[in-house]
Structure 1
Amino acid sequence: MTTSSNSPPLTPWGAAIITGVLLFLGYVGFDQFYLEWIFLLPLLWAIRDVRPRRAFLLGWVAGIVGHGGGFYWIIQMFQQFAGAPLPVGIVGLVLLAAANGVVLAVWAWGVSLLTRGRERHLVWIAPVLWTAIEKVWPEVFPNYLGASQYKVPHLTQIADFTGVLGVSFLVVYINATLYRILACRFEGKGVPWRAAAALGVTLVLVVAYGEFRIREVDGKVAAAQHLTVGLVQTNRGAADLHLSAGAIQQEHRDMSKALLAAKKADLVVWPEGVLSLGLPSREGTIPTWALGDLKVPLLFGACLQLNEEGETRFYNSALLADASGKILGTYDKTVLVPFGEYIPFGDVFPVLYAWSPYSSKFFSGKSVEPLKLGPHLLSVSICYEDIFPTHIRKLMRGGSEGRTPAVMFNLTNDSWYGNSTEPMEHLALASFRSIENRRSLVRVTNTGISAFVDPAGRITSRTGVWTREVLVDRVPLLEGTTVYGAFGDWIGWLCAVISLGAITLVTVSNRRDLTGKQNAL
């Protein structure tokens, strides 16, 4: 195979751009998931035999293209969520793509550093490094590579053992092995049969485990108690919630009554932020007329105003009320969206809120207690909290009583992102929480996509995007925990330790070699 050092100067940069294009085309929304099995091949060719610093830049270009193309909806989010003009939205996209693109940049740098003279080790170096970086690099919107495989359930079931990071490891491992096979073939070295056989055995084991776990989950679902849940999606965006709050609340009440008239449900769920409530405390009763007098329990999102510790505080909350309107429990959103629900350092520099008048000032929730609906425990999250595996794992630990919830709920408003790929990306990322914790996930949004996800991560029923619909399904109530639930992102931390150790050893070795050469001179 021709190396990048023997190629025209611009060719490696073109290869990096191709990797970025393949990355976002293979990701959720564009859904050409098979492209993720080969998307790193052009970049691996581009960084072959180049210095780590140049590899970093090539990887960064690939990362910026991949995240810029995949998350183009960030522009509209800045416009809708923070009231920013179009140029600011474009700058926001570029900055976010550059920040998230560092994952590919550092990965390319590390691969270049660790594989020089050790090409045969690429097949394990590449996935270990990727998994480590994906774990430790902070991102506002985490977008795990493994989520691209959400349509291939036989490959994703390992997430109950490794979390979504394990699926990312697998995808990069496939890339690295295929590249190694092709490189050896084109260089006349013959096929590296050990690497090829190892990949084949790994895929057989992963698929076999997937089949076993899917069958096991299906058996447990069939034998479990079920809760019939109805979801209401009014197709009203965030702006409508501010301009026509009363009319939208009435629509939720009317659609809920129509839903219950057609099908019996044990629980009705409304999305994030439907009501605005000022309450003296977290206990008490909400008038049934405000909730629609549905005669069944209601889980709904609200902007909650409370007087606490001598000040007025606003929370983005979920409330569970019984058929009489009595509040059974509340959950306040913990992971807030920067510049939308709060401004970083805004408490220190209050003037920042004056500069961004569309930004809210919510307080972050503290409680991780599940909500109780009769004998059943419900884990509730709000908005993009469901894309953070560690946060959902914390909620699924059952709070002070340590009783694992039987089902997960998420209340979301995805209207900020327009008619884009974001709702599908959000749902696909969230679906991995079902596999990691082996629980059904019920997601309700105001403009789509509302969905039911089974404990194997399969989307069993869903609404459209920007559609007015109700959705009813039966949700299994399961028990027990998983390896991931017990040990969390162990594979990410293990890969981080291995990566740090390997980089340290190679760096020390290189310095010794350089010192030896200088002394010889």
Structure 2
Amino acid sequence: MQGWRRSGLAVLAGALGALAQAPVHAFPVLWLSFPLLVLLIDPATDAPPLRRLRAAAWVGWCYGFGYFLAGLWWIGSAFLVDAAAFAWLIPVAVTALPAGLALFMALGTAVATLLWRPGPWRIAGLAVALTGSEWLRGHILTGFPWLSFGYGLAATDTLMQTASLVGLNGLTFLAVLLFAAPAAALGRQGRPRDGLAFVGATLLGLAGLAAFGAIRLASANVADVPDVRLRLVQPAIDQALKWLPENRLKNFEDMLALSRGPAPTSDTATADPAADPTTLVVWPETATPFALADDGYALAAAGAAIGPKSILAAGSVRVEPGPDPTAEPRYFNSLLFIDPSGAVRSLYDKVHLVPFGEYVPFQGVLGALGLGSLSNVVGGFSAGTDNRLITLPGLPAFEPLICYEIIFPDEVLAGAARGQRPAFFLNVTNDAWFGDTAGPYQHFAQARLRAVEQGIPLVRDANTGISAIVDGYGKVRQFLPLGARGAVEGPLPGALASTIYGKLGNFPLVLICAIIVICSITVRLRRLH
């Protein structure tokens, strides 16, 4: 199969693979999607070196374009919040982002042909190459590891436990290896007997991972942290209405009302505010449509809305004056920690900003072309520089993570001191930009996996959902669904002992990939002699 037929089939195979991601979680489709990719690459390996690389890269790009187009179509919803200014960009954003991300897939399939050998070895080579290209996608140009293939293997609570052993990158390697395995018994490359044996081995391996997950969950026994009570506030404010001047006071008053008294799901209901046992009240990212830290009245009102022993974690824009009167002020996407007196006890400025969402790369050039950030901040946000654990009265040390900072496996412990782990991750976000689409579900699935990787509970608060308390096994203790307005309460689950992945990181994965590469190179050198 050549030409547009092969290209079209590659696009369709990629789009099919996207069904393995949240909210569908149809991971068995990968047993069709990945083998199709292998079989489409096979003919390219017969060509001379340069043509082989070019042909394999094109197949990979087509597959990646279909995968990311089907998985990230919801990005366009953000441009409808201010449709008058940004709607014209929807066709560009919905196609340009998948086209750019597909370049990493093209790199992976091209490199895979350098490791291509008949039979099962070509599956192993593809797994190594795509793991490497996915790692690059998560780091180059600030990184964007959204929809990494490994999340397909974490589609169930049982299989998700594998992340405690190998992390997201290891899951990606295993996903390609296990789900592409049927191709080892198909096509003209290799002996069918070897291919069938390899398929059988991968099925046994998948069963082993499922057994590990089932045993781990069956033996789960997480004690709650004593005397720590959480209340997550989910106001469900429409993003298009949030920043309108006439709505600002009402939105703030709604937040205050949801912060007072017991939540409907509370098991410690009390009519006496002075007896409120809540330790931490959480508001979502940019919860206030104004700079909360600069408004003394609003700070006092926020402090009065929580219990006498509570701390309020409130997402807000923070303004910092320029170095001189003529300089423009700097804006930060921040999380403020406020006590009952209205005093700001600590704060965190978001470090890893969203390109085009919170700032414009190469702003001088792109700004001249009329491209600005989607945020309501002129010139975009400035990045914070201080990754650290936060310690406050009544709470164990925790790590704050704003919005998509939670999707970077290598960064979630960046604020931990040497030898110190956070007792929980506090993740606040505003997924209202993307409405009732797949985006918020994908974001929540990625956040849950961070908890499993490290064995550290997740406390997540989102404007429109999904807000939840998740333990170190990824089990959802309490939650509010997407679009619901209200508050949910619960205790803080205790952190687990450091996981194997938490101790070793990607070292075992790198070692395995290195062995596969060395074996492949050795065989090639022997053939040359």
Pick the TM interval, shorter chain: 0.7 to 0.9
Match of 2:372 in 1: 356
- More displaced 10-residue stretch of structure 1: 425-434 or 104-113: 104-113
Find the counterpart in structure 2 of residue 22 from structure 1.
16
- Residues 1:58 and 1:157: Cα distance change in structure 2 (over 3 Å): same
Tell me the distance in 2 between the aligned counterparts of 1:63 and 1:354.
29
1:301 correspondence with 2:301: no
SS at match of 2:146: coil
Aligned to 1:290: 302
Q: What amino acid is the match of 2:171?
A: V
CA deviation profile, 1:172-219 (whole Å, cap 9, x unmatched): 1112322213447x9984464542343244224323332343345x22
Contact 2:304–2:340 (CA under 8 A) maintained in structure 1: no
Unaligned regions of 5+ residues in structure 2, if any? 45-51, 270-276
Q: Which amino acid aligns with 1:229?
A: L
| Alignment match, 1:368 | 387
Residue 7 of structure 2: which of 1, 10, 13 is its match? 13
Task: Call closer, same or farther: CA 1:462–1:324 in 2, change over 3 Å.
Answer: same
After TM superposition, give the deviation of residue 77 of structure 1 in Å.
2.1
1:332 aligned residue = 349
Deviations 1:94-131 (A, max 9, x none): 11101111233223223334225x33312321211121
1:271 lines up with 2:284 in the alignment: yes
Letter in 2 for 1:53: R
Cα 1:491/1:342, change in 2 over 3 Å: farther
Q: Distance in 2 between matches of 1:223 and 1:289?
A: 31
Asked if the contact 1:165/1:491 (under 8 Å) is kept, the reply is: no
User: Matched residues in 1 for 2:362 and 2:526: separation?
Assistant: 43
Instruction: Note if contact 1:407-1:441 (Cα within 8 Å) is conserved in structure 2.
Output: yes
**Once the 2 structures are TM-superposed, how far is the Cα of residue 497 of structure 1 from its aligned partner?**
5.2
SS of the counterpart of 2:73?
A: coil
Structure 1 pair 308/488, CA: closer, same or farther in 2 (3 Å)? farther
Question: What do the CA deviations read for 1:244-288 (whole angstroms, capped 9, x no partner)?
Answer: 22211110101111435864532211101123336589xx99743
- Give the Cα separation in 1 of the matches to 2:507 and 2:424: 24
Query: Structure 1 vs Structure 2: percent identity of aligned residues?
Result: 26
Q: Which residue identity lines up with residue 46 of structure 1 in the other structure? A: L
| Between 197-206 and 413-422, the greater mean CA deviation after superposition | 197-206
Amino acid in the other structure paired with 1:181: A
Residues 130-169 of structure 1 aligned to structure 2 (within 5 Å): 130-137=130-137, 138=140, 139-140=143-144, 142-169=146-173
Gaps of 5+ in 1: 1-6, 514-521
User: Cα RMSD (Å) of the superposition?
Assistant: 3.2
Q: Does 1:93 align with 2:110?
A: no
- 1:456-471 matches, cutoff 5 A: 456-471=473-488
Does residue 430 of structure 1 match 2:476?
no
Q: 1:253 aligned to 2:256?
A: yes
Q: Is the 8 A contact 1:278 1:305 kept in 2?
A: no
Deviation (angstroms), 1:336: 0.6
CA offsets per residue over residues 447-479 of structure 1, 9 Å max, x none?
111122221123333222222122222221326
Any idea what the Cα deviations from partners look like across 1:12-54, whole Å, max 9, x if unmatched? Answer: 2343133112112222123212212431111212222223321
Match of 1:122 in 2: 122
Q: Is 1:421 aligned to 2:434, yes or no?
A: no
Change over 3 Å in CA distance of 1:429–1:130 after alignment to 2: same
Aligned residue in 2 for 1:518: none
Does residue 1:439 correspond to 2:459, yes or no? Answer: no
Q: How many angstroms does 1:416 deviate by?
A: 1.0
Distance 1:131 1:483 in 2: 19
Cα separation, 2, equivalents of 1:229 and 1:444 = 11
Q: Which moved more, 1:119-128 or 1:354-363?
A: 354-363
Q: Secondary structure at the match of 2:427?
A: strand
Q: TM-score, normalised by structure 1?
A: 0.85
TM-score between both structures, scaled by the size of structure 2: 0.84
- Structure 1 64/393 Cα, relative in aligned 2: closer, same or farther at 3 Å? same
- 1:436 alignment partner, SS class: helix
CA distance in 2, matches of 1:89, 1:141: 21
